[in-house]
Structure 1
């Protein structure tokens, strides 16, 4: 008896669309406790995830394997969260200004400040950042 071949199997493996691949790699917090927000882009991850992986949207902050940078570039002070699966077509992502970032879970507002030297580097790169000083509205 011959084996049944699906139409997809005849031509080999089907290529996965880029959007599906992006969704499969979306960054989500690994736990409910200890979640922090990147001060620049607002993506939410645990401290351990930032220390292990860094921030996929902000690799130039060089947080991976640098606990001090993780503390300087992330904050536990944020409000709300939104899961963004297709940033380029999501009106919420545009409203949050994360439409050019990777899929993931983002804070609605991020409170905190970068150190002056990090702020200067971001400005020299022309990078916008989402954090705002404590007490501002």
Structure 2
């Protein structure tokens, strides 16, 4: 962005700023991570300009609904990053746009912990999986085989009890002691 003292701005930069300003007054939502306000359609079309690397909302209405909220209060328009108002609201490193003062909601934990590889592989079968109902059934059988079985009765313990003999003792703890030989 050109310094503000010059009084001019590159038209491409101005268009880039306009792209991320709300283009309407209905269906406004705020990003839960950075608080940027745009319409739901803009979040779907462009994603969040500040959170592209982590939330990847572009093209996914479900991710937009999960990562944005219509429940926000107040807004501030950021024109010049680094100005007093941007520093006061914690926006000094954000791009120009409209930001909510407070946003209510939380980003689902699984979205915050997703890696790039998980996002790329989402929805596509892995290299060793063929997909289809047969593989799902065989996978379910493998899971059932690996799962420990439930006890036959509620009183039967799940694990066998193995007596532990402390060093130096010839009988397990709790076992009846053998009668000592008379001397």
Query: Which one has a larger percent strand, Structure 1 or Structure 2?
Result: 1
Aligned length: 106
Q: 1:42 aligns with which of 35, 39, 46?
A: 35
Q: Does 1:25 align with 2:16?
A: yes
> Given that residues 23 and 103 in structure 1 are in contact (C-alpha distance below 8 angstroms), is that contact kept between their aligned partners in structure 2?
no
- Greater Rg over alpha carbons, structure: 2
* Structure 1: runs of 5 or more not aligned: 1-15, 122-137
TM-score, normalising length: structure 1 = 0.70
Q: Does 1:56 align with 2:49?
A: yes
1:13-48 deviation digits (Å, cap 9, x = unpaired):
xxx827634454222111011100000110100000
* Structure 2: runs of 5 or more not aligned: 115-183
1:24-73 deviation digits (Å, cap 9, x = unpaired):
42221110111000001101000000000001111021100011110111
Structure scoring higher RCO (CA < 8 A, sep ≥ 6) equals 1
Question: Which residues in structure 2 correspond to 1:1-137 (within 5 Å)?
Answer: 17=2, 20-21=9-10, 22-26=13-17, 27-60=20-53, 61-88=55-82, 90-120=83-113
TM-score, normalising length: structure 2 = 0.53
User: 2: distance between equivalents of 1:58 and 1:91?
Assistant: 23
Say what the alpha-carbon RMSD is for the aligned residues: 2.1
> Given that residues 85 and 103 in structure 1 are in contact (C-alpha distance below 8 angstroms), is that contact kept between their aligned partners in structure 2?
yes
User: 1: distance between equivalents of 2:87 and 2:113?
Assistant: 26
For the residue of structure 2 that corresponds to 1:87, the secondary structure is: coil
For the residue of structure 2 that corresponds to 1:117, the secondary structure is: helix
